[in-house]
Amino acid sequence: MSDQTHVPAGHDLAPGEEEQHSVGTRILGYVVGLALALLLTATSFFIAGTDLVWQPSIPVALIVLAIAQMGVHLVFFLHITTGPDNTNNVLALAFGLLVVFLVVGGTVWIMAHLNANMPPMDQIMRMQ
């Protein structure tokens, strides 16, 4: 971790702040991000309604596009980069992802078992 020895106040970069870039470069960054985001959104809507591709692949394609969309947001708008001053942000993101993975994954797994073991009353009646 490179940013261990911060002098408090003043010299700190708030998460996502980039001091050294000029306004022009920053605006360019946001414009590129916006364009990519719009492109991905448009593609999703197009794919959802089209019959040009093999139908079962559509959900997969949508998931891929959604993940790409998240990536674009993280890089262009939330400024998650691999730069040395970004270790905290990357670690925080990793921790967040891990927790989401554990909670969502665990929930799906638990709920599937609960549903299998405890179906609603009318379903139990039908089984008998």
Partner 1 sequence: MLGKLDWSAIPFDQPIPLVAGAMVLVAILGVLTWVVVKGHLPYLWSEWITSVDHKRIGVMYILLASVMLLRGGSDAIMMRIQQAVAYQSQGYLPPEHYNQIFSAHGTIMIFFVAMPFVIGLMNLVVPLQLGVRDVAFPTLNSVGFWLTATGALLVNVSLVVGEFARTGWLAFPPLSELSYSPGVGVDYYAWSLQISGVGTLVAGINLVTTVLKLRTKGMNYLRMPMFCWTTLASNLLIVAAFPILTATLAMLLLDRYLGFHFFTNEAGGNVMMFMNLIWAWGHPEVYILVLPAFGVFSEVVSTFSGKALFGYRSMVLATMAICVISFMVWLHHFFTMGAGPDVNAIFGIASMIIAVPTGVKIYNWLFTMYGGRIRFATPMLWSVGFMVTFIIGGLTGVLVAVPPADFMLHNSMFLVAHFHNVIIGGVLFGAFAGFEYWFPKAFGFRLDERWGKAAFWFTFLGFYVTFMPLYIAGMLGMTRRMQHYDVAAWRPWMIVAAVGMAVLTIGVICQIMQLVISIRNREALRDRTGDPWDGRSLEWATSSPPPVFNFAFNPDVRGEDAYWEMKAHARQQSFEHEELEYQDIEMPRNSPTGFVCAFFAAIMGFALIWHIWWMVILGGIGAFATFVVFAWRDHDEYVIPAEEVARIDRINIEERRSLVSMAGAV
Note the residues at the interface with partner 1 (CB under 8 A): 1, 4-9, 12, 88, 95-96, 98-99, 102-103, 106-107, 109-111, 113-114, 116-118
Residue with Cβ nearer partner 1 (41 or 106): 106
CB of 60 to partner 1, least distance (A): 26
Residue with Cβ nearer partner 1 (5 or 22): 5
Compute the Cα dihedral for 110, 113, 115, 119 and give only its sign: negative
**Rounded-to-integer distance, Cα 40 and Cα 59, Å:** 15
Q: Which residues 6+ apart lie within 8 Å of 58 measured at CB?
A: 47, 48
What distances in angstroms separate CA 56 from CA 3, 41, 47, 61, one per listed residue? Answer: 47, 20, 12, 9
CB of 79 to partner 1, least distance (A): 16
Residue with Cβ nearer partner 1 (60 or 116): 116
Contact between residue 66 and residue 44 where contact means Cβ atoms under 8 Å apart: yes
Residue with Cβ nearer partner 1 (68 or 90): 90
CB of 16 to partner 1, least distance (A): 13
**Rounded-to-integer distance, Cα 93 and Cα 70, Å:** 12
CB of 46 to partner 1, least distance (A): 32
